[in-house]
Amino acid sequence: MRFRAKLNVHFDGAFNVGSGTMGGSLAQRPMLTDWRGLPMVPASSFKGRLRHTCKQLAEAMGQETCDDPVAEAMCQPGEDERFCPICRLFGSPWLESPLTFTDLTLMEPAFLAEARTPPRTSLRYGVGLSRRRRVAQDQLLYTTEVFLPGGTVTLKGEISGQLDDRDLGLLVAGLENLLALGGGKTSGMGWCELEFELYRIEDDGSETLLSADDVRRRWLS
């Protein structure tokens, strides 16, 4: 079925979706911003996080998935080879994903979304621990650029595509179980709450609101 999921992601507190590069920031983990200079979550990061959540769910329910990110351990086309649900949803080197993700961009609060000047960010200092010696090491000191809005910030995005009912059910279960986005999960940053509305796109282009409960049940039926 053709579908569209409208997403609202609420962040409460500091968050950072780092680019992993030094570009234009003092922080070693600078925050990604959109064309307005506002914090954003790129489509690729969101997709990666959702893929990870769906894979955990599928495995928890005893469904076999392949071993990413090593390409040769992933499902490959062949005589008997069938693609696992994660490859069918998110794609692989051999299979194009039927899903399109947009970036998650800031919608609320309005005063920020309409601001002419991007909001200030702060640097947060973290200390990496040596796994072996369990002590702080000077060379592991890092800085993370975080956004501290002092209230809830809502980012908006969309997933659309075409899936059969069961695969759409797994995607819905993944959306319902996604708890954190961005970097710094272990340091208490980046927790989020995700709300979504799911629509079936009919042949004439009109949209019908679907119940997430009904769709999720089809995954396990």
Binding site residues, Zn ion, CB under 5 A:
66, 75, 84, 87
Cβ nearer to Zn ion, comparing 57 with 192: 57
| Strands of 110-202, DSSP E | 122-129, 136-146, 152-162, 192-201
Min dist CB 163 to Zn ion, Å, is 15
Least Cβ distance, residue 42 to Zn ion (angstroms)? 23
Give the shortest CB-88-to-Zn ion separation in angstroms.
Answer: 8
Q: What is the sign of the dihedral through the CA atoms of 162, 178, 130 and 145?
A: positive
Residue number, 11 or 219, with CB nearest to Zn ion: 219
**Comparison of 84 and 146: residue with beta carbon closer to Zn ion:** 84
Taking the C-alpha atoms of residue 104 and residue 161, their distance in angstroms, rounded to an integer, is 17
CB 200 within 8 A of CB 212: no
DSSP run (H or E) holding 122: strand 122-129
CB of 87 to Zn ion, least distance (A): 3
Smaller CB separation from Zn ion, 71 or 127: 71
Residue 20 CB, nearest distance to Zn ion (Å)?
A: 26
Whole-angstrom distance, CA of residue 66 vs CA of residue 78: 15
62 to each of 1, 157, 169, 212, 219, how far by Cα in Å? 25, 31, 15, 22, 12
Nearer to Zn ion, 97 or 177 (CB): 97
